[in-house]
Amino acid sequence: MEDREARIIATAVALAEEGGFEAVRLRDVAAHAGVALGTLYRHFRSKDDLLVAALAREAAGLATRMAKQPPDGETALDRVTAYFAAATRTLCRKPKLTRAVLRAASSDEPELAGKIRDFHVVAGDLLIRALRADPAATLATATEHEQRVCAVLQQVWFAALIGWMSGLHKQSEVVAQVRIAAELLLP
């Protein structure tokens, strides 16, 4: 990622964390990042596109941390729970940003589908590594059953995060709901 693009994303993150989704106005992002509005639009098509890029940045940071310290646990259930606990902590420590990102990720912009899919691949790779306790595992090399388990757990997690976002659940309940689903899916 080039410096200008990273600066734009960092500015959007700061504005979102300060004031949520509504605070990420592209004119303000461009002004605070020190770039022309046209430059911002060359990198990001919309506010949702920019916020999904922020989600990708958070996922990359989580992947770096997990490469250094993989989820711990004796069983696949324990490791998967540890992964979702870490991923949930990563997102919930910046609550306004996360609410903005979840709103953007729920957008009906067809152009975002590929970026959301890319995020799910990164998250899926991290999840399959936790499931297998294998730092080299990837979703692409997972069995069909493992891919299905990962997909269902990610969907449960996303739904639980939406519940957290709307105030229905506490952060700990997000992880608990994913663990319940994992208990049902894992041998």
In the chain, domain spans: 56-185
pLDDT per residue over 139-149, tens digit each? Answer: 999 999 999 99
Of residues 113 and 23, the one with the higher pLDDT is: 23
Of residues 110 and 14, the one with the higher pLDDT is: 14
What confidence category does residue 110 fall into, taking pLDDT thresholds of 50, 70 and 90?
confident
Mean pLDDT score, 127-139: 95
pLDDT per residue over 60-80, tens digit each? Answer: 899 999 999 999 999 999 999
Q: Fold for 56-185, please state it.
A: Tetracycline Repressor; domain 2 (1.10.357)
pLDDT at 132 over 80: yes
| pLDDT for the residue numbered 82 | 97
pTM (predicted TM-score)? 0.90
| pLDDT for the residue numbered 51 | 94
| CA distance linking residue 70 with residue 131, whole number of Å | 11
